[in-house]
Every structure is written in C-alpha cells, then in structure tokens.
C-alpha cells in the first residue's frame, strides 16, 4: 500500500470533518490510485485524473462535438478515447479538451484519490465542475472531501464497515465489478487500511 504520511493525515482529518472513516477513504484510494495523491505535470503537483471521452462527447453539441471528435478527444463509445498511462499525458489531453469547453472537459474527468467523476459536481454541492476540480487540486484532504461527499450522497459509507464488499463494488465500480475483481481488491485494501491505522495510533 503506497500510503504516505500526508495521505493518512488527510484521511484522518476528513474523517473528523465528515464522519466517513479514514479506513474507508484509504481503502478506496488504494484501489483507485494506489494511494497516490499527486503526479508531476509542467512543474506542478496535480491530482491523478482519468479523462472519459464518451462523457465529453455527451456533454458537447454541434461544431464543438464535431471538432472534439476530429481531434480524437470525444467518441460516443466508452473506452474509445484511450487514457495514456502517464498522468502528464492525461493532463495534456484535459488541457486540449478544456480549450474546446472547460466545463464539459472537467465534468468528463475523474478526480483524485477516489476518482470521482466531475459530472457529479452539482449534486455534490459544487458551483461548477471547475470548482470541484479546484478542491481536488488544492490538497489530498480536498480529494478525500470530494470522495466523502460522494459516498454520503450515494449512501455508501457504511458498506465497507459492514463488510458488504460486493454491494460496495457494484455501486462504486459498476455492475461489471467482478470482471476486474473490484470486490476482492476493496476487501483486501480495507483490511490493510485498518491495520495501518491501528499501528499508527
């Protein structure tokens, strides 16, 4: 588990402010981003992201959509716009998409330690996709705050403490969660996170 002191402290602070337990937050972060809060891009620290070209396509219209498709940034098929392994390359894709429509580009991106989609910005209480992204870009605690809002909005925060890993995996990762063993991964990550926090106490 690649959890550094900054990430663990951020999870503890988020537990205090939101009531979502640090073990839940750390387990999800471990599965989603290996507990890594930042990557280097153009000399700055940025949260880990994943750009979803099918979301971007859905949020655009007319000439904007045509231009984005021609640039290889949008496609109605999920997975057709590939995410490079390197985070810097993903940020370059996001920058290109944002030049077409910044709100759509940020909404079509999953953000930070929990990889929460920017498309959820309104129901999570943010004023815009950019505002949600700004919180993710500010700190690891901000990334956990987004995750906690999402978990509470979806009534998911109690599923891992109840050891209902399949239900959590289905609702957080999608109905095809068994294909990548998400339930097994989150179960293992939750057990490790609890032990790690107990050792730190």
Res 66: pLDDT: 97
pLDDT confidence of 2, banded at 50, 70, 90?
low
- For the segment 57-87, what is each residue's pLDDT rounded down to a tens digit? 999 999 999 999 999 999 999 999 999 999 9
pLDDT at 41: 93
> Tokens in use for 10?
């951020």
- Report the percent of the chain where pLDDT is more than 70: 98
CA separation for the pair 170, 143 (Å, rounded): 22
Q: How far apart are CA 117 and CA 126, in angstroms?
A: 13
Contact 8, 22 (CB under 8 A): yes
Cβ proximity of 129 and 103 under 8 Å: yes
> What per-residue confidence (pLDDT) applies to 37?
96
Q: In the chain, what are the domain boundaries?
A: 5-39+151-200, 44-112+120-137
Q: Which position has the token pair 């700190």?
A: 139
Taking alpha carbons only, the member of 79, 140, 97, 19 closest to residue 107 is: 97
Q: What is the pLDDT of residues 83-129, one digit of tens each?
A: 999 999 999 999 999 999 999 999 999 999 999 999 999 999 999 99
Q: pTM for the complete prediction?
A: 0.94
Report whether pLDDT(1) > 70: no
**Span between the terminal Cα atoms of the chain, in Å:** 18
Model confidence at 201: pLDDT above 70: no
Does position 3 have pLDDT exceeding 90, yes or no?
no
In three-state secondary structure terms, 77 is coil
Tell me how far apart the alpha carbons of residues 75 and 148 are, in angstroms, rounded to a whole number. Answer: 30
Question: CA 109, 114, 119, 124 torsion: positive or negative?
Answer: negative
Report the alpha-carbon distance of residue 89 to residue 41 in Å, rounded.
9
CB 97 within 8 A of CB 122: no
Two tokens at 75?
Answer: 């496609």
Q: For residue 50, is pLDDT > 70?
A: yes
Q: Is the dihedral of CA 82, 85, 86, 87 positive or negative?
A: positive
pLDDT digits (tens, 9 = 90+) for 124-150: 999 999 999 999 999 999 999 999 999
């Amino acid at each position: 588990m690649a959890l550094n002191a900054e990430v663990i402290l951020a999870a503890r602070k988020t537990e205090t402010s939101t009531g979502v337990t640090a073990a839940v937050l750390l387990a999800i972060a471990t599965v989603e981003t290996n507990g890594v809060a930042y990557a280097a891009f153009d000399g700055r620290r940025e949260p880990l992201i994943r750009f979803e070209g099918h979301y971007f396509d859905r949020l655009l219209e007319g000439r904007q959509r045509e231009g984005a498709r021609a640039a290889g940034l949008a496609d109605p098929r999920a997975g057709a716009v590939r995410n490079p392994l390197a985070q810097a390359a993903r940020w370059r894709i996001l920058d290109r998409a944002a030049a077409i429509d910044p709100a759509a580009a940020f909404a079509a991106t999953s953000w930070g330690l929990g990889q929460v989609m920017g498309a959820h910005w309104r129901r999570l209480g943010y004023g815009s996709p950019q505002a949600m992204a700004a919180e993710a870009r500010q700190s690891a605690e901000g990334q956990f705050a987004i995750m906690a809002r999402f978990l509470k909005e979806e009534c998911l925060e109690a599923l891992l403490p109840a050891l209902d890993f399949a239900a959590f995996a289905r609702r957080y990762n999608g109905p095809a969660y068994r294909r990548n063993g998400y339930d097994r991964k989150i179960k293992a990550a939750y057990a490790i996170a609890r032990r790690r926090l107990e050792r730190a106490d």
